[in-house]
Structures are given as C-alpha cells and as structure tokens.
Amino acid sequence: MTTLPSAATRTTTPRSAPVPTFAVISGAQVQDALDGREQQIVDLVEATYRLHGAGDSVNPPSYFLRFPDRPTARIIALPASIGGPQRVDGLKWISSFPANVSAGLPRASAVLVLNDHDTGYPFACLESSVISATRTAASAALAADRLSRGRPRPTRVGFVGTGLIARYIHTFLARTGWTFDAVGVHDLSADSAAGFCGYLQQDGGAGHATEVTVHDSPEKLIRASDLVVFATVAGSPHVTDPAWFAHNPLVLHVSLRDLAPEILLASANVVDDVEHCLKADTSPHLVEQLTGSRDFLDGTLDDVMAGRVTLPTDRPVIFSPFGLGVLDLAVGKFVYDEVARTGDLRLIDDFFHDLRRYG
C-alpha cells in the first residue's frame, strides 16, 4: 500500500485519464471522518433526499441474496447513482447474519464501493457498517425534526431494540439539539438493554434525560413515550394493538416489520420512497397486500419537507424508511473527500492491471 496526499490522480474525464487509482478506507478512518459532524451529515442526508425527490438519482430495487441453509441470514446489494455536487455511482453490499450476535459479533457487516461518474472505474472501497448506521441515524433524526413540526416536540423517547442502530440514532438526536425528560428502553435481551443503559450513562446523561427506564414490555414503553424508535431485527409484526398508540406519538419505524397493518391504518404514514418501501413484506407492504391500495400513505419525507404534505395532529405519525442506497453514496463520498483532504488515503499500488486497450 502507498499513502498519497490527495485524490488528485483520480480521473475526471475519459479523454485525458491517467492510470486510475483505488483506495481502501478502514472503519477507523470512516469513524474519524464522521465523528462530531452529526448536524452536517443530517444536512447532507436532507439534501440527498431532495435530489432524489427531484429525480437527480438512480436508485433501483435492492437485491436480496438469501440462503436455504441459513434462512435468517441475508446479504443485500444496493446499487445507486447520485447527481448534484457528489456525482458518484456505487454499490453497498451489506450482510445481516443474526446468529453472529450469540458469537459476540455484530449482526451486520458491509462494504461500499464508489465508482467514478465519468469512467465507471471503482476508485474506493470503504468499510460501511458505520456509514450504513450513520445514514440510518441521520435519516431518523431528520425525520424526527421534520415530522414533529406542527405538534408538541417529543420529550419522552423510547427505544424498542437496543443494538448499534439504536445507539447511533440516540447519538444523532442528542447531538442535533434534542433533549429528553425520559428515555425508555425495551429489548428481548436483558444484556442488550443493560448495555444500552450503560451507553446512555456514559454519553452524558442520555441526551440530558433525567430518567432512564427499562420496560418489560413494548406496550409499557410505547404508552410512556411520545417518540418511539423501533430498531429491532423482527421479521414479522409483533406489535398489534392500535390502542397502545392512542396518545398519538411520533414513531420512527426504522426496522420496518414491527407493526401490524391495523396500526398503520390508524396512523398517518410517511416513507422515504414508495416503491422501495412497499416490498419484502415490510409493514407498509403488508398493508398494501391487505387493502389492495396505497391510499394509507400520506407521502414521502421529501413531500413533507417540500410542503406538499401536511400531517394531522390527531393520529400517530409513522415514518417507515426502507433505506436508500443514494444516502450511502452521499455519506461515503463525504468520507472519501474528508480522508483525501487530510492526506490519509491508502492507495493500492497496481490495483488495475493491463490497462492498454490492445495489449
């Protein structure tokens, strides 16, 4: 490996292209590039949603690789292309192996490949579990802000599921101006719940919360919270009673498959992308299958931000984000540019071989 001061050698036009370069960016470098920039990343995610809403992106369906001998596991390919100032193409390749948890490993692992807009050559491979968690948390924080406008700002947050994603979402909320009087925690694993409580204490008082409560049921947590975050690995709905949401909370349904159709039908529903979200047996997809209609959807987050949709205050509001590859590209390109700026790109010598067209 060779460390060079910048990405200046990377091609910009096919006509005068120098030898393409290829960089590998580690998880530690990704973390360093993103740490402390939560508001900047939320703003980047907002701008990317707006680009996507304006049609300046390509975001085809994700491809799910499943295994007959490992039915709980999957690897997902998210190809995408984004215009605007980023102008980058690429692919996120992310695996979810729940059995890893019992072996002491995180459930998910991922890489992100960035491709040059003009030549198509891949120019970087980044460790992407941090990027994926970051864009998910930034999207959740953005939605919490935008979807709570016009109603009392939530002061009691509850987390159903207390893994990496929950931790990132709390961090983004706390570092983008949210304060809470109470934080609720529920997880099927007592160890996970205890670990999350430890994180909350270490993080400086759980976003200025005065109270942290571990609930023994999702019902108790939901009834005690006006902002509810679902960040589980549930494969099918396990929360079925609309009465639990009678106080009209804002719900960040990040894990997508926790809520029964009856709950969505009694709520206002916002997604990140309609076509992406209504597939793969997500809760919104189950509603469509049940009713044969998409009328239960109020719109997308971009619709809300652009003022095309006004949300009611007399029903729960549920945000169900499928997770768009364009967000990974935007955050990944931000990381690449930051690592290049600091002169810490690790370029792989001779990664591309035999570049003479005629040999």
* DSSP letter assigned to residue 259: B
How does residue 16 score in pLDDT terms, banded at 50, 70 and 90? low
Q: What is the pLDDT of residue 359?
A: 59
The whole-model pTM stands at: 0.91
Q: What is the pLDDT of residue 24?
A: 98
Question: pLDDT tens for residues 227-279?
Answer: 999 999 898 999 999 999 999 999 999 999 999 999 999 999 999 999 999 99
CA 22, 23, 27: angle at the middle one, nearest 5? 150
- Look at residue 301 and give its three-state secondary structure: helix
In the chain the domains, ranked by start, together with CATH numbers, are: 2-131+326-347 (3.30.1780.10), 138-320 (3.40.50.720)
Under 8 Å CB-to-CB from 67, ≥6 apart: which residues? Answer: 73, 74
Question: What is the percent of the chain with per-residue pLDDT over 70, rounded to a whole number?
Answer: 93
Residue 53 has pLDDT above 90, yes or no: yes
Query: In the structure encoding, which two tokens stand for residue 284, read together?
Result: 């919104």
Using alpha carbons, list the distances in angstroms from residue 63 to 19, 75, 287, 322.
32, 8, 22, 13
- 3-state DSSP of 164-224: HHHHHHHHHHHHCCCCCCEEEEECCCHHHHHHHHHHHHHCCHHHHCCEEEECCCHHHHHHC
Residue 14 has pLDDT above 50, yes or no: no
Q: What is the pLDDT of residue 202?
A: 85
- Higher per-residue confidence, 7 vs 336: 336
